[in-house]
Structure 1
Amino acid sequence: MPSIKFLAALVALLTLGLQGAAAASLETAVAAYHTLPREYRLDGIVEAVNRTTVSAQTQGQVQEIYYDVDDFVEKNALIARLKDTEHRARVSQAAADLKSATARLQQAKDEHERVSGLYRKKNVSDSAMDKATADLASAQAAFESATARLEQAQEQLAYTEIRAPYSGIVTHRHVELGEIASPGSPVMSGISLDELRVKVDVPQSIIPAIRQRDSEGVPGARVRVYLPGDGVIETGNITVFPYADLGSNTFKVRIELPTQPGDKLRALFPGMFVKTGFIVGDKSELTVPRRAVVHRSEVTGVYVVGTEGRVSFRQVRLGRTLPDAYAILSGLTAGERVALDPIAAGVTLKEQVLARMEEVGEGGHD
C-alpha cells in the first residue's frame, strides 16, 4: 500500500503540473528598454486666441440687449441696439443737404458750360469765365462735403447696432437697458472656442533646445499637449517670446492647437490647466504594455511570470504614460516577463498559493 506521504506528493506534483500548464498558457510580454523622446513636462494654461470686449462706437441709450452671459453668438449677430432717433434725424438732414448740393452743382455746371460757349466766341470777359469756373469748383466741393456728411451720418446710425465680430460665447455683459453708452464704453465681452492655444512658462535652460532649427531654417522642436481623457496632440507650431520674465527667468511659449477642433478638443476650455511635454532629445526607458499594469487600491503592479511558471505580483513605480505602454521607474528589470491578462494571472496566482498551502499542510501530517 502506498504511504500517505507518497500520495500527497503525487497529488502535489500533479497540481503543480496543472498550474505550470496554466501559467504557460498566459499571454506575456517582455519588459525591455526602448529609445523614447526625452520630454520636459510643464503645466500650461489653455487660452482663447480670440478674446474681445465689444465697445460702443457712438453715443446713445441702450434700447435692446439680445444676449446674456453663457449665450452662444454667431458672427455678425446683433447683440445690442442703441436708440437711433437722433442718428436717423442726422441722416435725413445730411441727405437733404446732399440734394441741395447736387442741385447747386448741376446749376454751376450748366452756367459754366454756357459761359464757356460765350467765352469761346469772345462774348464774355475773362473775369466772367473765371467766376464761372470758381463757382463750379465751389459747388463740386460742397457736393463732396455733403456726400461725406451723409456717409458719416449713415456710419453713426450703423453704430447703433452693435454686432459680434466672431462666433463665440458671451463671458460678461457690461450694460443694462436704459443706460447711456458712450464711444469706447464696453458693452459685452466674449471668447471663441474655435481657436485655442496653450501658454507655458518655460525655464531658460531648455529654451535653446526649443528654438533649434534644421538645416533649412525650419523650427525642429516638438511639443505634446496631454488632453483630458488620455488624448495627446503633438505639434511644432509654437511661438517663443523674445524676452524672459524678470522675476522667474522663464520664457513664455505659446502652443497653437489645431484650428479645426475634433472630439479630443471638445473638453478644453480657456483657463484650464493641461500637461505639456517639450521634446528635447532621446533617452532609453524600460517599458511594459499598458494592459499589463493593474491597480489594486493604492498599489500599482504587474504579474510577473517566472521561468518555472511561477506567477508573482510585483509592485512597480510608473513613469510617463505612452500611447500603448508605461515607462517603469522601479520594480522590474529588463528581460522579465509580465502577464498581459491580469485577471487570468491573478487566478493562476491564487491557485498556486492554495496548492502551496495544501502541500505545506499535508506535509505536516503523516
Structure 2
Amino acid sequence: MRSASGFILDISKFSVLSLSLMLVACSKPESDPPAQTSSQSIELIAQDLIAVRTGELQTKIPFTGTIRAVNQSSIQAQVTATATQVNADVGEAVTKNQVLVRLNNQDNVARLAQARANLASAQAQAELAHNLMLRKKRLLDQGFISRVEYEQSQVDYKGQLETANAQKANLDIALKADQDGIIRSPLTGVITKRQVEPGQTVSAGQTLFEIVDPKQLEIQAKLPLEQQAALKTGKTIQFNIQGETQSRSARLSRISPVADQASRQIEFFATPSDVIQSLSIGAFVEGFIINQDQIQGQIIPLDSIQNLDHQPFVWVIRQQKIHKINIQVLEKRFADNQAIVKGLQSSDQISRIKFESRDENKTVSISHK
C-alpha cells in the first residue's frame, strides 16, 4: 500500500502538469482574422449612367427681355383746362384721330374771339389803305398830287397789310390753343391707361392716356457690351414667354448704335415669327440668339457636371471602376440641360450619382434590372 505522503506527492505532480499545459495553451498565438477586402464593390443600375456622345451644337447667346408694342403713345394735355367730356376707357379699342377728351378753357375761347376780331379790323384797315393807294395813283397820273404823296400811300398800305398778317398769326395761335382742348388718338390701338375723369382740371404736360397697338409686338432686350459680336440683324432668336411652355422664334430687327452708359449693355429688338397675344405685353422673356458657328465636342448632361464654375469634373465609370475626371466645358445649355466638354474617353459612362473622394477606384457592378 502507498503511504499518504506518496499520494499527496502524485497529486502535486498532476497539478504542476496541468498548470504547465494551461500556460502553453495561453501562450499559443491566436489565429489571424480573415483578411478584409481592400475595396468594396458599388452597385449601380443602368439608368444611373449616360454614355458619352460626340457631336456639334450651334452657338447660343442667352438673353432676357420683355414683350412691348412697336406702336405706342403716351398722350399729355397741352393746356391747363377742365375735362368736360371723356370718351374712352381702359381696354377700349380706338381709331386714329378719334376724340378722347374735350377740355374747356374759357381764357382760350376769349383769346380766340379777340384774335378773330383783331384780324377782321386789321384786314379792313388794309383794304382801306389799298383803296386809298389806288385813288392816289389815279390822281398822280392826272397831275393833281405829287409822287411823294402817292408813295406815302403805298407805305401806309404795306404797313396795314403787315398788321393784318400779324393778326392772322395771332389767330392761328389762338386756334391751336383752342384745338389743344380736343384730345385725339394719334394711332389705332387699345387704351391701356386712363388718368383723367370728367370735371377734373388737368395741367399742361399731364399724362391723360396711354395707347398701344396690339397687332405689332416685338422683343426688347439687352446684351453685355462684350457680346456685341452676336448682334446682327436677321439672326434667328429662340425664346419663351413667361408662363408659357411653348418655344417661339423671332428675327433680330433693330440694334441700338450705342451702349447704355450705366449698365454697359446694348439694347436690341426682335420681331416674332408668329402672332403673340396682347396680354403678353410687358411679359418677361428668356431666349437665345443663335449663331451659325458650330461647337464640336463631347455632349453630356449639364447636371452631371460637378463644381461647374470652378475646376469642373464628372464621375465616370471607366474599366468597371469609378474615376473622377476633370473636364473643360466649352458650352452650357441650361434650357436643354446639355453641355459640350473635352477631356473624356468615348467609352466612358457618365454617372448621375455623386460620389465622394473615398469612392474613387472602387469596382462597380451594373444591374440591368
Change (3 A) 1:200 1:186: closer
Question: Which residue is equivalent to 2:181?
Answer: 160
Which stretch shows the higher mean deviation, 125-134 or 104-113?
125-134
> Is the counterpart of residue 237 in structure 1 residue 258 in structure 2?
no
Q: After TM superposition, give the deviation of residue 58 of structure 1 in Å.
A: 2.0
Output one character per residue of 1:158-203: Cα deviation in whole Å (capped at 9) or x when no partner. Answer: 1111111122333333333222223222222333323333232323
Question: Which residue is equivalent to 2:194?
Answer: 173
The CA distance in 1 between the partners of 2:82 and 2:225, in whole Å, is 52
Amino acid at match of 2:189: G
* Alignment counterpart, residue 156 of structure 2, candidates 132, 135, 157: 135
Q: After TM superposition, give the deviation of residue 286 of structure 1 in Å.
A: 9.0
Q: TM-score, normalised by structure 1?
A: 0.60
* Alignment counterpart, residue 276 of structure 1, candidates 270, 287, 302: 287
Output one character per residue of 1:193-219: Cα deviation in whole Å (capped at 9) or x when no partner. Answer: 2333323232333222335xxxxxxx5
Q: After TM superposition, give the deviation of residue 220 of structure 1 in Å.
A: 6.6
Question: Which residue is equivalent to 2:229?
Answer: 208
More helix, by proportion: 1
Change (3 A) 1:72 1:267: closer
Change (3 A) 1:81 1:244: closer
TM alignment of 1:1-366, pairs within 5 A: 35-210=56-231, 221-227=235-241, 228=244, 230-244=246-260, 246=262, 250-257=264-271, 262-263=274-275, 265-266=276-277, 269-280=280-291, 281-284=293-296
The CA distance in 2 between the partners of 1:43 and 1:257, in whole Å, is 15
Q: After TM superposition, give the deviation of residue 121 of structure 1 in Å.
A: 3.6
Q: After TM superposition, give the deviation of residue 231 of structure 1 in Å.
A: 4.4
Amino acid at match of 1:168: G
The CA distance in 2 between the partners of 1:137 and 1:204, in whole Å, is 63
Change (3 A) 1:203 1:84: closer
Change (3 A) 1:268 1:36: farther
The CA distance in 1 between the partners of 2:279 and 2:57, in whole Å, is 27
Change (3 A) 1:49 1:76: same
Q: TM-score, normalised by structure 2?
A: 0.59
Change (3 A) 1:150 1:274: same
Is the partner of 2:161 in helix, strand or coil?
helix
Is the partner of 1:98 in helix, strand or coil?
helix
Unmatched segments (≥5 aa) in structure 1: 1-30, 212-218, 288-317, 335-356, 358-366
| Identity, % of aligned positions | 21
The CA distance in 2 between the partners of 1:230 and 1:42, in whole Å, is 17
Query: 1:46 touches 1:268 (CA, 8 Å); kept in 2?
Result: no
Amino acid at match of 2:239: V
Amino acid at match of 2:295: K
Query: 1:105 touches 1:136 (CA, 8 Å); kept in 2?
Result: yes
Aligned pairs, how many?
259
Is the partner of 2:186 in helix, strand or coil?
coil
Is the partner of 1:116 in helix, strand or coil?
helix
Q: After TM superposition, give the deviation of residue 110 of structure 1 in Å.
A: 1.2
Q: After TM superposition, give the deviation of residue 221 of structure 1 in Å.
A: 4.5
Is the partner of 1:243 in helix, strand or coil?
coil
Unmatched segments (≥5 aa) in structure 2: 1-51, 300-331, 341-345, 347-368
Query: 2:67 touches 2:283 (CA, 8 Å); kept in 1?
Result: yes
Change (3 A) 1:220 1:93: closer
RMSD of aligned C-alpha atoms? Answer: 3.6
Which stretch shows the higher mean deviation, 52-61 or 128-137?
52-61
Change (3 A) 1:137 1:91: same
